[in-house]
Chain A
C-alpha cells in the first residue's frame, strides 16, 4: 500500500467535502464532550475516594458527664497508637460553636438545645492508615465506659464508593452511546462522500485500482473525523476546566478536602485514539454496505 498516496487522496477528499466533514466533526465533538465531562466527574470522584481512603478520621462521641480525667486518660491512650497523628478533645460547647460557624446559619446559640452536640474526641490518622486503622481504633475504644459511640465514616466512604460505581456505569453507558453516535455519524458522512465521489471510484476501478486502493482513503477520512472530534472535545474540556477550576476549588472541593483534577494524560490520549479507531470502524462498516467496488 502506498501510504503517501492514500493520505494524499484522503486529504483531497476531505478538502473537497470540507463542509460535510466540518458538520460531522462538530456533531461528534459534542458527543465526545459529553463523554469527556462524565470522565472528568469520575476522575474527581475517584480522587475524592482515594483521599478519603488514605486519610482516615475517627470521631469518638463521649457520654454526657464524662469526667475530665477519664477523657484525658483516653486521649493519652489514643495518642500512643501508631498511625495516630492528632487527638483533639472537642467539648459540647465547642462543637455547637463550630457547627454554627460552618453552617453559617446565623442562628443564635440559644435556639439550640444544650445537649444537641455531644462532646467528642477527634482522631486524625496518618496517610495510608485508612479504613483498617480507623476500624482498629473503633474496636479498641468501645471498651472505655465514657465512650458512647464511634464514627469511622465508613458508611460515607461506602456511599462514595457506590457513587463511583454509578459514575463508572454512567461513563460506560455514555461511551457506548458515543460509540454508536460516532459509527452513525461517520458512517453517514462516508456514505455521502462515496455518493459524491462515484465518478472517481469508477475511474479508479477502470484503471485497475484494487478494492483496498479505493477504500483506504475513506477509512483514513473516518479515522481523521473521529480523532479530530475527540481532540476538539478534549481541548474544549481543558479550556472549560481551567476557567472553572478556581471557583470549584473554592467551594465544592474545599468542603470535600481535595483539589479538582483534570483527566489523566493517558485517559485523554485514550479518548483520542478511541476516537480515531471508532471513526475508522464506522467508515469501514459504511463502506462495506454502500461501496460496491
Chain B
C-alpha cells in the first residue's frame, strides 16, 4: 500500500515506482494530492532518543520543517545533530514520539519500507560516503539504478546532475583521484540526481577548508532554489553567520529556534520558485551562482509571505 497517493501517476519505469511498494517515490516538480501539499514536509513530535538510559540524546523534540525551507541544524559536537538527521533517514529510530514525513510516521515503518523512504531523500555526509574506486558517473548513477531507471535516462540525468555541481566532463574519472571538495560534490550530485523532496546534509563541510565549505553551502542553496527542502547540520558558525537561513540549535538534547528563517525573509523582495507545470530551468553552476545575500529569490515563500508549496512538492 502506498503511503503517498498522488493523482498524477507516472509510468513505473520512469518514476522508479513499482506496485505494492509501501513508500511511493516522489520528487520536487511532481504535483502531489492536495492533502499532501498542505502538510509540512517534516514534523518532529515529542521525539526522544536515548543512547544511554539515563541521558537522552534528544528529549521531547518538537520541530516543524515546512516545504521548501533551508534549515541549519547546529549545536556543539555530541549535541544530537547527527542523531536528528539519522532519525529522518531511519538509520536510527525514535524511542518516544513520532516523526512525520509528509504526514506519515516514519518511526513506524517496517524495515522493508525504509528503502522507499530513503528514495525520497538525498543524503550527504561529512565523510562523503562515495565509493572511491568507482567512477564519478557510477557513484551518481547508482541512485537512479536503484529506481530501475532506463540506462539512457540515467546517462542524461547524471550528466545534468554533474553539470549542476560543477563536475561536467568528469564522469569517467575515478572518484579517488578527485579532491575532497570534488568528492563532496559527487556526493551532492548523487543526493540530488533523483530530485528528492528533502535533502539531509550531515556536516557536509566538516572535512573541507573554509573556502570549499562556502562553495558546498552555496551548492546546497542552489539546490534549495529549485524547490528542495534542505536540512543542513553544521557546527561551523562562520557558515551560519554568512547565511540568513533558519537556525535550529540543539544543546544537550533540547532543540531551540535560534533564528527564524521565515521572519528574516519577510519584507524582502522574493520571486516565486518555478511552478510544477512550467519547464524546469537549468540550475546555474557554482561559478554562475549568486551569493545568497544577493539572491533573495531563494526564498520558499511567495511575495506576500504566504507559503507557496505547490511547486516544491514531490
A interface residues (Cβ-Cβ under 8 A, vs B): 1-2, 4-5, 9, 16, 199-200, 202-210, 213
Contacts and interface: CB of A to CB of B under 8 A. Distances in A.
Contact of B148 (A5, A200, A204, A205): A5
A213 B146 CA distance: 7
A159 to B, nearest CB: 61
Contacts of A205: 115, 118
B119 A204 contact: no
Contact of B146 (A16, A202, A208): A208
Contacts of A210: 112, 115, 146
**Most chain B beta-carbon neighbours within 10 Å: one of A4, A16, A207:** A207
Given A204-B146, A207-B118, 16 more contacts: A1-B148, A4-B151, A199-B131, A202-B129, A203-B130, A204-B142, A205-B115, A207-B142, A207-B143, A208-B115, A208-B116, A208-B119, A208-B120, A208-B143, A208-B146, A210-B112
B180 to A, nearest CB: 16
B185 interface: no
Contacts of A208: 115-121, 143, 146-147
Interface string B99-124: 00000000000001001111111010
Interface in B121-152: 121, 123, 129-134, 139, 142-143, 145-148, 151
Nearest to B130: A203
Given A4-B151, A208-B116, A210-B115, A203 B146 contact: no
A204 B117 CA distance: 13
B49 interface: no
14 contacts: A9-B145, A203-B130, A203-B139, A204-B142, A204-B146, A205-B118, A206-B123, A207-B123, A207-B143, A208-B115, A208-B118, A208-B143, A209-B115, A213-B115
B131 A203 contact: yes
A213 B118 CA distance: 14
Contacts, number: 52
Nearest to A2: B148
Contacts of A200: 131, 134
Shortest 10 CB-CB distances between A and B: which pairs?
A: A208-B119, A208-B118, A2-B148, A208-B115, A207-B143, A209-B146, A5-B145, A210-B115, A200-B131, A207-B146
Contacts of B120: 208
A205 B123 CA distance: 11
Range, interface on chain B? 20 to 34
A26 B77 CA distance: 51
B89 interface: yes
Nearest to B143: A207
Nearest to A200: B131
B224 interface: no
Nearest to A1: B148
A8 to B, nearest CB: 8
Contacts of B143: 207-208
B264 to A, nearest CB: 32
A203 B118 contact: no
B89 to A, nearest CB: 7
A203 B131 CA distance: 8
A207 to B, nearest CB: 4
Given A2-B148, A199-B131, A206 B142 contact: no
B116 A207 contact: no
A115 to B, nearest CB: 86
Contacts of B132: 199
Contacts of B81: none
B75 to A, nearest CB: 23
A209 B131 CA distance: 15
Contacts of B123: 206-207
A199 B129 CA distance: 8
Interface string B169-193: 0000000000000000000001000
A168 B84 CA distance: 64
Nearest to A5: B145
B204 to A, nearest CB: 14
B189 to A, nearest CB: 12
